[in-house]
């Protein structure tokens, strides 16, 4: 075979490997990191679009905020596009956000949101060509298009969703190609709503973006609440499940559990043990778990304490969380 052809094939192979192993940012949940990237110390990919989609109050914004926090801890640029006008600086600080390092914007329309994202990326890259940028757009579901804002004729009719989907599709076609070369992670929040009058099939539908959005997603994560922590009238948190619906890094369709305590944030260890059991790191017998490599026995509530104390008996787990073999 011609040497030039062989060289091109080798370069193509190297490029493919780079695309399949992007830099990653933690979600704040070791279990979620694992189902997204195959690594407990992994997370969402830089250079792609990640979407959190679910019904209201299923921790979507919290996940996005945790990702911004982890980005700041790594020294990355952190940007929030707050189309919901629901950003709470106090709550963000509780989750670990440094407001002095956060770039905040609240544009009124879909077009303005994506235009702001692109201009901010270009402005940063004019000064700093390399440091990763993490953009959190919260949320697509409430961002109207300019046509919706300007014309009363769109209000409440069937054209509304179609116009917004077309607008989002056009914006994504423009911004998606720059994410990888400019080292940007784009995190989107979207909502699942229920279609009225559906008797057969799945009545749920995403509020914005349509099929065009699905095409551009690198990772698509569906969140759902399964339980409430505390009293029903005064809950202190929620538990839920995340399902990986689409993934360009590893195989999709895996799920994990999460726990959110309102005044603290995500429990990073919740949902971890079922995945460690699946991976053969621990085995379960009733309420007890045993670390196979060391014989250390423990119950689920004590895992966090053992890890924080650096207990030798759980060192195989600690090493996995650090990305060490």
What's the confidence (pLDDT) of residue 199? 56
Residue 162's H or E segment, with its range, is helix 159-179
Domains and CATH numbers, the chain: 3-268 (3.40.50.300), 271-325 (no CATH)
Place of tokens 């996005």: 64
pLDDT tens per residue, range 218-248: 999 999 999 999 998 899 999 999 999 999 9
Q: Say if residue 58 is preceded by a cis peptide, omega within 30 of 0.
A: no
Distances (CA, A) of 231 to 17, 56, 66, 239, 251: 49, 20, 26, 14, 38
For 110, counting Cβ atoms within 10 Å of its Cβ (0-12 exposed, 13-18 middle, 19+ buried), the class is: buried
Q: Contact, 114 vs 164, CB < 8 A?
A: no
| 3-state SS assignment for residue 46 | coil
The pTM for the full model equals 0.90
E strand or H helix at 20 = helix 3-20
Give strand pairing partners of 246: 220
Residue 7 confidence (pLDDT) = 60
Tokens for 290, please give them. 């045993």
pLDDT digit string (tens) for the chain, length 325 residues: 566 665 655 554 444 444 556 899 999 999 999 999 999 999 999 999 999 999 999 999 999 999 999 999 999 999 999 998 889 999 999 999 999 999 999 999 999 999 999 999 999 999 999 999 999 999 998 888 888 888 765 455 555 667 888 899 999 999 999 999 999 999 999 998 666 555 565 655 656 777 889 999 999 999 999 999 999 889 999 999 999 999 999 999 999 999 999 999 999 999 999 999 999 999 999 999 999 999 999 999 999 999 999 999 999 999 999 998 6
Tokens of 86: 């629901």
């Amino acid at each position: 075979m011609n040497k030039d052809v062989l060289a091109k094939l080798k370069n193509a192979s190297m490029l493919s490997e780079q695309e399949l192993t992007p830099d990653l940012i933690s979600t704040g949940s070791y279990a979620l990191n694992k189902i997204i990237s195959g690594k407990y110390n992994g997370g969402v990919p830089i250079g792609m679009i990640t979407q959190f989609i679910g019904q209201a109050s299923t921790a979507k914004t919290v996940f996005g905020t945790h990702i911004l926090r982890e980005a700041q801890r790594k020294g990355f640029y952190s940007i929030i596009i707050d189309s919901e006008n629901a950003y709470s600086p106090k709550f963000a600080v509780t989750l670990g956000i440094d407001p002095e390092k956060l770039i905040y914007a609240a544009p009124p329309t879909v077009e303005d949101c994506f235009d702001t994202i692109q201009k901010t990326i270009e402005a940063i890259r004019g000064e700093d060509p390399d440091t990763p940028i993490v953009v959190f757009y919260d949320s697509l579901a409430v961002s109207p298009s300019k046509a919706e804002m300007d014309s009363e004729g769109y209000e409440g009719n069937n054209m509304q969703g179609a116009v917004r989907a077309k607008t989002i599709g056009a914006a994504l076609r423009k911004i998606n190609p720059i994410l990888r070369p400019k080292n940007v992670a784009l995190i989107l929040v979207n909502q699942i709503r229920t279609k009225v009058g559906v008797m057969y099939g799945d009545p749920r539908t995403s509020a914005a973006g349509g099929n065009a959005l699905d095409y551009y997603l690198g990772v698509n994560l569906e969140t759902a609440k399964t339980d409430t922590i505390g009293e029903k009238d005064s809950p202190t948190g929620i538990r839920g499940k995340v399902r990986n619906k689409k993934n360009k890094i590893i195989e999709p369709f895996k799920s994990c559990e999460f726990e959110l305590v309102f005044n603290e944030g995500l429990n990073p260890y919740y949902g971890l043990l079922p995945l460690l059991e699946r991976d053969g790191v621990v085995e379960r017998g009733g309420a007890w778990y045993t670390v196979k490599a060391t014989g250390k026995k423990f119950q689920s509530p004590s895992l966090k304490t053992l890890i924080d104390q650096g207990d030798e008996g759980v060192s195989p787990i600690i090493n996995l969380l650090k990305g060490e073999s």
